[in-house]
Amino acid sequence: MSDAPTTALLAVNLGTPETPTAPAVRRYLAEFLSDPRVVSIPPLLWKPLLHGLILPLRSGRSAHKYAQVWLPEGSPLAVHTRRLAEGLQRELPQWRVRDAMRYGTPALLPALDALAAEGIQRIVVLPLYPQYSTTTTASVEDRVQQWQARNPQIEVQLIRDYADDPQWAAAVAASITAHWQQHGRGDKLVFSFHGIPQRLADAGDPYPQRCRASAEAITAALGLSADEWELTYQSRFGRERWLEPYAEPRLWELAQSGLKTLDVVCPGFATDCLETLEEVALGFTATVAERGAQMRYIPCLNDAPSHAHALAALATAQTA
């Protein structure tokens, strides 16, 4: 009898350029921004704008930002995702664990193909987006459903959301507590989630409710009262209205109100990446300092054992 695993966990993150260079960033952004789940403008209108204006303008600027946070081993998102998958493999020794990216490499569909070729009979797909959104989780779900339609002999289960999962929330709360024990506690804890256009929420995307569910689960685990924390949204792009309050202007208001130390955490991101490291840890910290306050960024869970343990429990619950 073979002892080869028949069940696999595929942890799927957003994606990243392969190098912090303009050509690599352009390839990555071209794939990312061509997803209709991300940009809903009709392709006939969007593609000329994307390739004629946005990619030429953004690729070089984004490459410079990536270069500021690039690790010796590669992109922070890729490095931390790979290490998290290794931690999940230790938690699930009877399973096969792999990581994949929705955009870029290692690509999602080839990763599924490879698991099928290895004889896997059941795959649990875990998008590393704690809070469900049509812009993120649903895009992974689209691809997985396309793949399963071609591979009906393999059972595939997708974890759509874990925004208020108790073990995950406890892991985030423990990381905040550890930060406070080392650095002292700030005057206010600010949650910064990646934003989405307000029109998507108005159309029924549950993302803002799921972000609030995460913040409430984490602050309940910390024992915080309502006046000790705030929820904000970052990474707005374009001119239309996105979810509010916007993180950076709100941090400025808090600084100018007399608060001296602000702690910022980003639990919408499973792993640190450009948005947490360059936008928040570097950018927000600098502009808040200009307004007379200190901002301290609390890192994502990344490959913390508590993170792997919580996600492994989610996966095994799918197959119980």
Q: What is the 3-state secondary structure (H, E, C) of the chain?
A: CCCCCCEEEEEEEEECCCCCCHHHHHHHHHHHCCCCCCCCCCHHHHHHHHHHHHHHHHHHHHHHHHHHHCECCECHHHHHHHHHHHHHHHHCCCCEEEEEEEECCCEHHHHHHHHHHCCCCEEEEEECCCCCCCCCHHHHHHHHHHHHHHCCCCEEEECCCCCCCHHHHHHHHHHHHHHHHHHCCCCEEEEEEECCEHHHHHCCCCHHHHHHHHHHHHHHHHCCCHHHEEEEEECCCCCCCECCCEHHHHHHHHHHCCCCEEEEECCCCCCCCHHHHHHHHHHHHHHHHCCCCEEEEECCCCCCHHHHHHHHHHHHHHCC
> Contact 245/233 with Cβ under 8 angstroms?
yes
141 assigned ligand-binding residue: no
> Contact 306/221 with Cβ under 8 angstroms?
no
307 assigned ligand-binding residue: no
Q: Which amino acid is at 10?
A: L
Residue 101 and residue 83: Cα distance in Å, rounded?
14
Phi-psi region of 284 (alpha: psi -120 to 50; beta: other; left: phi over 0): alpha
> Contact 267/130 with Cβ under 8 angstroms?
yes
Residues marked as binding? Answer: 194, 275
Residues marked as binding for Fe(2+)? Answer: 194, 275
